[in-house]
């Protein structure tokens, strides 16, 4: 019986196949990584805008549930923060710092050329002087109308605010030359 040194049932990958797989993985990573870094700042900005929207909704519900007004205030300088307080004493929501999201997220108009509603000049710091705070009353209505604007390092912008006295909270995205 003459046995050859190599068995016909040997399975595995050849060195050439392994090298080809590594090259394909390298090419895919070379394409995906730059796309990730382009996508991430806008993702974080959208997340920050939605968190702000949710915080305002929570404050509105807290005012209705607690049968006491809740003040939702914005502080663009020095910390880019917002918070809600109940009757000026009890903290409903601890201050949220926009810079914690990274990617240059802060209050500001970014690439937007007009305000969300009504169309007029944007405030330099992203928080109009007339909208540094709004109060949700026990019925969920607000005493102050307006939007705050948040931007990122790429100049993308979202507007979040209360455009009507009925306490409706809206979130809008700048899609040049207008708001969506």
Listed as ranges, residues in the chain with pLDDT below 70 are: 1-10
| Per-residue pLDDT tens digits for 122-157 | 888 888 888 899 999 999 999 999 999 999 999 999
The answer as to whether 10 is a domain residue is no
Q: Let me know if residue 5 belongs to a domain.
A: no
Answer yes or no: is 8 within a domain.
Answer: no
| Domain CATH code at residue 37 | 3.55.40.10
Write down the pLDDT at residue 4: 57
Q: Which domain holds residue 95?
A: 15-179
Question: Of 173, 172, 169, 160, which Cα lies nearest the Cα of 57?
Answer: 169
- Is 122 within a domain? yes
Q: What dihedral do alpha carbons 131, 159, 170, 103 form, nearest 10°?
A: -120
Phi, psi of 151 (to 5 degrees): -135, 170
pLDDT at position 5 is 62
Residue 108 lies in a domain: yes
Euclidean distance between CA atoms 87 and 41, whole angstroms = 36
Q: How many domains does the chain have?
A: 1
User: What was the pLDDT predicted at 29?
Assistant: 85
Q: How much is the pLDDT for 129?
A: 83
Q: Is residue 6 part of a domain?
A: no
| Cβ within 8 Å of residue 79, ≥6 positions away | 95, 97, 99
């Amino acid at each position: 019986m003459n046995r050859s040194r190599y068995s016909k049932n040997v399975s595995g990958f050849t060195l050439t196949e392994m090298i080809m797989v590594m090259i394909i993985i390298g090419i895919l990573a070379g394409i995906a990584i730059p796309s990730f870094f382009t996508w991430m700042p806008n993702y974080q900005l959208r997340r920050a805008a939605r968190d702000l929207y949710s915080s305002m909704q929570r404050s509105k519900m807290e005012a209705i549930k607690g049968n006491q007004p809740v003040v939702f205030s914005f502080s663009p300088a020095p910390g880019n923060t917002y918070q809600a307080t109940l009757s000026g004493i009890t903290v409903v929501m601890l201050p949220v710092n926009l810079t914690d999201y990274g990617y240059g997220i802060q209050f500001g108009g970014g690439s937007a050329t007009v305000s969300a509603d009504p169309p007029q000049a944007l405030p330099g710091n992203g928080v109009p002087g007339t909208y540094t705070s709004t109060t949700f009353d026990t019925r969920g209505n607000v005493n102050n109308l307006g939007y705050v604007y948040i931007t990122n390092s790429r100049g993308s912008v979202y507007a979040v605010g209360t455009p009507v006295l009925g306490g409706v909270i809206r979130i809008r995205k700048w899609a040049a030359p207008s708001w969506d």
